Structure 1
């Protein structure tokens, strides 16, 4: 007696079923997990930068003073414009780079903290135009996603902000 192999639907059908199942598993990841990851990914570089701006409580580091007074220029329409009030700008940047990332990590006022970092990214882009592809674009994309979607359920926002309907 001759046995024939059961007709297979081919490896294409098996592969398609595997892809569909994998896609379903990926879609079941709670949105709060990637939002938490985005909050940390955006907060860390800004917080680290903020730490370099201080040499004690509200005392700007010599490096920050030098950069804002001598090095940093706004590149606007082909010209280089010195920062107005460079020490005030350095202090504001240093405070924002510490406070906003902490708010992001906690998930407190996430949309506003992200908007602040998005605006800072725009100013940084004007200051260091060559950093767009490697740094500024990913920061802007992360900040924009958090502005639009918020911090998710793994955050303080849902506990302190009234739910929108």
Structure 2
């Protein structure tokens, strides 16, 4: 058998170079730790919601990335109230209450996600918020909301990983 026939035979049986590289790559990708994925998911989605929450309040500004820190008593911004009255118009809930609930949720649940505390519950709460935004506020933004939903569903299904308060608490109570 000559080299070209031998190479073709190896490739067709899956023993050639390309199938071997694909198998090695798949094995390598399979070794990415779930905890790393969960940590990146937690920090990334927390950042999205925290930054959104910061646009709804005045008196407290905490942005680690830009270095903006202004500690004070937070209050709902006039622009947030305006948006909830004029643009968002959610059914069954007063705009003032909706704005306050959104600002509160966009600060509380990201902090819990960063700590890895009540992670699955926090992810569920933010998923409900995401679905509300998708259905009632920005139905055309499904590509963005789909990514958020995928991250939140991952956290709900697999949890925060071992680098979290949830893991520490669970390990403590297993003893």
TM superposition score category, shorter chain reference: 0.7 to 0.9
Tell me by how many angstroms 1:136 deviates: 1.1
Per the alignment, residue 140 of structure 2 pairs with: 130
Per the alignment, residue 79 of structure 2 pairs with: 63
Q: In 2, distance between residues paired with 1:97 and 1:114?
A: 11
Q: In 1, distance between residues paired with 2:154 and 2:33?
A: 16
Q: In 1, distance between residues paired with 2:18 and 2:84?
A: 57
Aligned length: 153
Let me know the Cα RMSD of the aligned residues: 2.2
1:103 equivalent in alignment to 2:106: no
- Of 154-163 and 36-45, deviating more is 154-163
Tell me by how many angstroms 1:130 deviates: 1.4
1:30 equivalent in alignment to 2:51: no
Give the TM-score of the pair, scaled to structure 1. Answer: 0.83
Per the alignment, residue 77 of structure 1 pairs with: none
Q: In 2, distance between residues paired with 1:102 and 1:139?
A: 17
Give the TM-score of the pair, scaled to structure 2. Answer: 0.78
Task: Tell me: higher relative CO, structure 1 or 2? Use CA pairs within 8 A at least 6 residues apart.
Answer: 1
Q: Which runs of 5+ in 2 are unaligned?
A: 60-72
Runs of 4 or more above 4 Å deviation = none
Tell me by how many angstroms 1:8 deviates: 5.6
Per the alignment, residue 42 of structure 1 pairs with: 45
2:89, 2:95 within 8 Å by CA — same for their partners in 1? no
Q: Which runs of 5+ in 1 are unaligned?
A: 75-80
